[in-house]
Amino acid sequence: MPDHFQIVKSPDHQIHAMKQIPNIFTLLNLFLGCIAIVFALQTENISIYVGEDLSTHYNIPEKISIAAYFIFAAAVVDFLDGFVARLMNAASEMGKQLDSLSDVVSFGVAPAVILYQLLRVSFIKEENGLETSIAWLLPAFLVACAGAYRLARFNIDNSQSYGFKGVPIPAAGLLIASLPLILHFGNPYLDVSEILTNKWVLYAIIVIVSWLMVSTLPLMALKFKDYTIKNNLPKYILVVVAIVSAILLHWLAVPLVFIVYIILSLLYKQQPS
């Protein structure tokens, strides 16, 4: 009997190990979403005060903005896990399910908590706002429920390779995550702080975003079969709008790009295939 044995891994074992690499990115997406929730919940320093002109002012805790950063980071990782899976030809049914479970946390629950906190701010601005019932804040979590429904439907529908039925949950999550960043940094051209801290505006955002996710509107996926202008004109228009608006409007560009995305998808209406 030889003194030493060499353990040789089978090709099947190596293939299985390779398929776990995209799943690591997916779990990192989930991890970042969990951190976003933690920061979004740390809002003990919400405060209001009266200025010299007797107008009411308030501050939005910086940690809500930090939560938004983690949601955007999760979106980057979410893109990378799909990219790595395609690059390594390591897509799997488990990876698909794991991706959805991660997305519902990072782009469903975490943004819903941000909306919950923004609703708190909107009520704090009002007289006796600190006595507001929690029932007025709970509609924020409709976004998480709609996102979960949208992901479940996506998982059993194989017709959404180059198009979507309803708004993808990462797009909805990023739209909501942009709101505290718009409020925190402001905009040199347009002050929307009063609008984004109006409870009725926030309720409208909740209803519209939730409906867009559960709807069956045919929306384009940002995937390229080729790079010709003829076959990708709306995508190139969206890229140009995103770049220009990011330069001019900063974080306010996110809602604008979201709206343009919906409009372009409907103008160049195409059934998912």
Reported as a single tens digit per residue, the pLDDT across 12-43 is: 555 566 667 888 888 999 999 999 999 999 87
Sign of the Cα torsion 148, 43, 128, 55 reads negative
Decide: 220 and 233 in contact? Cβ < 8 Å. Answer: no
Separation in Å, CA 88 to CA 9, 83, 199, 248, 252: 19, 9, 46, 38, 36
pTM for this prediction: 0.85
Q: What is the CA radius of gyration of the chain?
A: 22
What is the amino acid identity at position 154?
A: F
**What phi and psi, each to the nearest 5 degrees, are found at residue 219?**
-120, 145
**What phi and psi, each to the nearest 5 degrees, are found at residue 126?**
-90, 160
Express each pLDDT in 101-119 by its tens digit.
999 999 999 999 999 999 9
Residue 80 CA to residue 238 CA, distance in Å, equals: 21
Q: What is the β-pairing status of strands 47-50 and 56-59? A: antiparallel
Beta bridge partners of 57: 49
Residue 113 CA to residue 133 CA, distance in Å, equals: 16
To the nearest 10°, report the CA torsion of 86, 106, 143, 192: -110
Residue 40 CA to residue 36 CA, distance in Å, equals: 6
The percentage of residues in the chain with a pLDDT greater than 90, rounded to a whole number, is 48
Token digits of residue 209: 């975003």
Which band of pLDDT confidence, cut at 50, 70 and 90, is reported for residue 271?
Answer: very low
* Element housing 143 (H / E): helix 142-155
- What's the pLDDT at 90? 65
Which band of pLDDT confidence, cut at 50, 70 and 90, is reported for residue 2?
Answer: low
